[in-house]
Amino acid sequence: MSDVPFPAIAAAIKTTLEAQGFTRLIGAEVVAVEPGVVVMALDRREEVLQQNGLFHGGAIAYLVDNTTTAAAATVLQRGERSVLTAEYKVNFLAPSRGDRLTCRAEIVKPGRMLTVVEAKVTCRTGGEDKLVAVGLATIAHVDRPKGS
């Protein structure tokens, strides 16, 4: 992608994420795509909560999954390669009782084979953003199949 201007790359990443069936089901939105950084958000509604009225841990993990993988995609060096999530860890820090989750993923270390990305998830509660989860992900760079 070395000859593609970054705004076009960012637009392609945003379009890809928002077109995922799972993203449309959950109703998450892409807030920002910058070199090395992707931010997504999810508003509170009954369908993304667990039994105690908190955002479901799975919804938080979904945001960590998508933003960390997409953050790695922002720094792909060549058009013929793609990224895949190898693994991630999520630590839940506080109950997410608020109105809106925001997950910001930022590359810690880009690599040719593996890129390591961290994520911070905040929940807006009474006008304030409270840190509710952190994630640490390993994203693999893979060759795209010929002709795809």
- State yes or no: residue 71 binds its own copies (CB under 8 A): no
Cα Rg, the chain, nearest whole Å: 15
- What is the C-alpha separation between 4 and 7, in angstroms, rounded? 8
Q: Given the structure tokens 């077109």, which residue do they identify?
A: 19
Among 113, 127, 128, 147, binds its own copies (CB under 8 A): 113
Task: Identify the CA nearest to 35 among candidates 85, 105, 134.
Answer: 105
Whether 98 contacts 59, CB under 8 Å:
no
Residue 21 or 127: the one with the smaller Cβ distance to its own copies is 21
Helix locations, 1-131, DSSP H: 6-19, 21-26, 57-73
Using the contact rule CB under 8 A, the part of the chain among 3-11, 71-79, 96-104, 105-113 near its own copies is 105-113
Residue 69 or 74: the one with the smaller Cβ distance to its own copies is 69
- State yes or no: residue 145 binds its own copies (CB under 8 A): no
Q: How many CA atoms lie within 13 A of 132 on its CB side?
A: 26
Task: Identify the CA nearest to 38 among candidates 14, 5, 16, 8.
Answer: 14
- The alpha carbon of residue 47 and the mean position of all alpha carbons in its chain are separated, in whole angstroms, by 20
Using the contact rule CB under 8 A, the part of the chain among 1-9, 57-65, 72-80, 96-104 near its own copies is 57-65
Among 30, 39, 61, 76, binds its own copies (CB under 8 A): 61
Among 2, 7, 19, 127, binds its own copies (CB under 8 A): 19
- State yes or no: residue 31 binds its own copies (CB under 8 A): no
Residues making contact with its own copies (CB under 8 A)? 16, 19-22, 24-26, 45-51, 56-59, 61-66, 69, 84-94, 108-109, 111, 113-114, 116, 118, 131, 134, 136, 138, 140, 142
